[in-house]
Amino acid sequence: MTRAAFDFSGSVILVTGGANGIGAALSVELRRRQATVVVADVDEEGARALAAEGGGPGCCEAVRMDVSRRDEVQRTVADVVERHGRLDGLVCAAVVQPLARIDEISPEEWQRVIDVNLNGVVWCCQAVLPTMKRQAGGSIVLFASGTADTGKPLAGGYTASKGAVRSFAKTLAREVADARVRVNVFRPGAIDTPQFRTANPGGTTIPLDRPQDAVGPLMFLLSEAATMTGSLVAREMPFPGAG
């Protein structure tokens, strides 16, 4: 069975944390499906290398953006809209996951996790919503984790932030439904990414999927075929150590 042939011609999609992992795999596939993809990452060199690869009728641009800085997010999104005149999709894949016990994590480490994983999502949504509302349409895809339900040792900030993102998405979906802006959450499962390997330094006995394996559900959520909002799309049942 082949992947559904989504067509994103004419669409402009912003992917945060898009320089590697799932974000990079999605950006490559969206470009193949004729989208204009803006890869936003603090790893500007990695984002530019991805954008320079070519490989599709679409277009891929790279910008440096720290999602934890609201002013930087606002400027970046404004520049994207000024260049392209629209913004059809936002995928928030940027994430950090330091390893620390809850009784030992420093205030600075905790704040960084919240600033990137939760506040960064809020700032990005705030920045894209005026354009999406004006267009009377758009798709926002946020990332959850099964560990928000199961818990995970040494990942208190990460699990807390991912649980908060899920609740935030439910409320935002209700607030913007009348503008025909869809807000959904994706839980990718155990994917072999640099972030997953860093968060699981001892390895795992669980078989890991490829970043490309998460692309199909994400493209569905970005497409007009996904006529739902406030939903959670998960690739597997939650289990300890996932995502």
The active-site residue out of 6, 123, 143, 158 is 158
Report the chain's mean pLDDT, rounded to a whole number. 91
- pLDDT, tens only, 43-71: 999 999 999 987 678 899 999 999 999 99
- Torsion angle defined by CA atoms of residues 22, 123, 200 and 150, in that order, rounded to the nearest 10 degrees: -100
* Prediction pTM value: 0.92
Whether pLDDT at 239 is above 60: no
- Residue 162 is predicted with a pLDDT of 96
More confident residue, 241 or 41: 41
Q: How far apart are the first and last CA of the chain?
A: 26
Query: Given this model, what pLDDT does residue 4 score?
Result: 53
Tell me how far apart the alpha carbons of residues 158 and 114 are, in angstroms, rounded to a whole number.
Answer: 8
Query: Is 60 exceeded by the pLDDT of residue 237?
Result: no
Active site includes 27? no
Is 58:36 a contact under the CB 8 Å cutoff? yes
What pLDDT sits at residue 35? Answer: 96
Is-contact 176 160, C-beta < 8 A? no
Cα 82–chain centre separation: 22
Structural domains of the chain, ranges and CATH numbers in brackets: 12-234 (3.40.50.720)
Burial classification of residue 19, based on how many CB atoms lie within 10 Å of its CB (0-12 exposed, 13-18 middle, 19 or more buried): buried
